[in-house]
Chains A and B, each alone.
Chain A
Amino acid sequence: MIELIDIHKSFEGKDVLLGVNLKVEKGESVVVIGGSGSGKSVLLKHIIGLLKPDRGTVTVNSTDLSTLDEDGLNELRKKFGMLFQSSALFDSMKVWENVGFGLKRHTRLSDPEVKDMAVQKLKMVGLSGAEDLMPSELSGGMRKRVGLARAIAMEPEILLYDEPTTGLDPIMADAIDELIIKMREELKVTSVAITHDMKSAYKIADTIAMLYNGVIILTGTPEEIKNTSDPVVRQFIEGRAVGPIVVEGMGR
């Protein structure tokens, strides 16, 4: 379904991705873990063509993204929903207009119908009654959930989640994890999620992949990851500041 082959990416001489390979099967839920600044968000943006690799290919449904023109890419993007790490809500629009943006543009639904749909999606993320607020009136966690509602609004085949539960309280985080699982089980979506939260990674993942030093160093089922002997992955999942991953300011 989604395949990243040997993706290299650097920004102004700063290497971020150094040959990432990742394969996501149809209906699979892959979680990417990795340290802050390791390039997880950059990786996710390659899948939907927001960033173009310096080298390597991204294929979705066996189409190489680099062969698509503007219209072709837009057609493909209709299959996607993406939740940004920063939520990226349109701050000139009300919450329901944010959620209904894709519906309004790509379907023939009338405004009241779009609003109904938006309200229904907002309910799924626990935000009933927030539809007429402006994004600036929301808390960080609420913004995240509006972003999630916007991502799922068009019922896409592929969902990309950039830290869906960061900034949420543990109960809400678990509810969002349940929603992600429901999306996969009921709508058979294929998903790639990024998270720091190992509890939610174990819960939502079929496969966990760890990004470190610009490459995927290990992929496996949650069980395999839990029991790995790889010292880098162990340090990460156990959340220790001391280990093979050197943390600046932690002289050892």
Chain B
Amino acid sequence: MLIKLIEAIGAFIEKPAEGIGRCMLLLYSVLKHIVKPPFEIRNIFKQMLEIGVNSLPVVLVTAIFTGMVLALQSYTGFKRFGAEGLVGSVVALSMTRELGPVLSALIVTGRAGAAMAAELGTMRVTEQIDALETLATNPVKYLIVPRFLSGAIMLPALTVVTDIIGIMGGYFVTVILLGASSKAYLRATWDFLKQQDIYNGLTKACFFGAAFALISCYKGFYAKGGAEGVGRATTGAVVVSSMTILISDYFLSAWLFK
């Protein structure tokens, strides 16, 4: 009975454990190739454009509405105990510490992560990755390193934009729509916001960017089984990346914002 149970648990965690192990091996290989010349400058810029610039519209829309709803909700809620003056602080702290990094990470995962897994997966099942190898080109260096680096660089950049736009959205609702004082809102924004909040938020974003890129590339790189396999890799990339972002967010926050 007990043995059966242990076996069942073992079978249940075997797959994820194997996946984590192989993902770590891939990470090791990626880190090794990052510091080894020649550097794939052209590819890195292409990916940065793909991840950063092309994600900008969705990120902007998300940021502005998140800031707006945050302000709206906290304004009407805080009014019950006369704390409307703190709306600016709530928006600023939530955006920089939490929502900026996490929301941009989730959105970029849905867009760029899925695209990475689909592209690499297709390259795998159509033997394009094998072809790269026969042309004496290391696929980890050529395909994964640029995506990993752009993830880690562009997500903090997008987060800065999200933070600013979110705060502007909050300002718009509180000051323009609900008629609170502009000066008081800005004061509340600045007074309680520390540089550390912003830095820690960006640190999280950098981690999320590296994580979603690594996971999505991993899923695509080891895809097998034709079009269906590519589909599975793509879904898997989005699900696992999102989970990783949300779970690691708790632990990173607990560690960074002591």
Contact = CB atoms under 8 A, between A and B. Distances in A.
A102 B128 contact: no
Contact of A90 (B128, B133, B136, B138): B128
Interface centre among B119, B122, B130, B132 (most CB of A within 10 A): B130
A77 B136 contact: yes
A179 B88 CA distance: 74
A152 interface: no
User: Which bucket holds chain B's interface residue count?
Assistant: 10 to 19
Interface string A3-21: 0000000000000000000
B136 A48 contact: no
Nearest to B119: A92
A50 B133 contact: yes
B138 A77 contact: no
Nearest to B29: A70
Interface stretch (A78-86, A113-121, A122-130): A78-86
A74 B135 CA distance: 8
A80 to B, nearest CB: 6
Nearest to A80: B134
B128 A89 contact: yes
Interface string A92-123: 10000000011001100000000000000000
A206 B204 CA distance: 62
Nearest to A78: B136
A74 B138 contact: yes
Contacts of B73: none
A101 B126 CA distance: 17
A75 B133 CA distance: 11
B38 to A, nearest CB: 9
Interface in A221-240: none
Interface in A41-73: 45, 48-50, 70
Contact of A77 (B119, B127, B134): B134
A101 B127 contact: no
A91 interface: yes
Interface string B111-132: 0000000010011001110111
A133 interface: no
A45 B136 contact: no
B134 A90 contact: no
Contact of B134 (A48, A86, A105, A106): A48
Nearest to A160: B134
A88 interface: yes
B136 A74 contact: yes
B133 A88 contact: no
B127 A84 contact: yes
Contacts of B138: 70, 74
B76 interface: no
B137 interface: yes
Contacts of A91: 122, 126, 128
A86 B127 CA distance: 8
A102 B137 CA distance: 8
Interface string A187-217: 0000000000000000000000000000000
A74 B132 CA distance: 11
Nearest to B142: A105
A43 B134 CA distance: 15
22 contacts: A45-B130, A48-B134, A70-B138, A74-B136, A78-B136, A80-B134, A82-B131, A84-B130, A86-B127, A88-B126, A88-B127, A88-B128, A89-B128, A89-B131, A90-B123, A91-B128, A101-B135, A105-B136, A105-B137, A106-B136, A150-B131, A150-B135
Interface of B: 119, 122-123, 126-128, 130-138
Interface of A: 45, 48-50, 70, 74-75, 77-78, 80-82, 84, 86, 88-92, 101-102, 105-106, 150
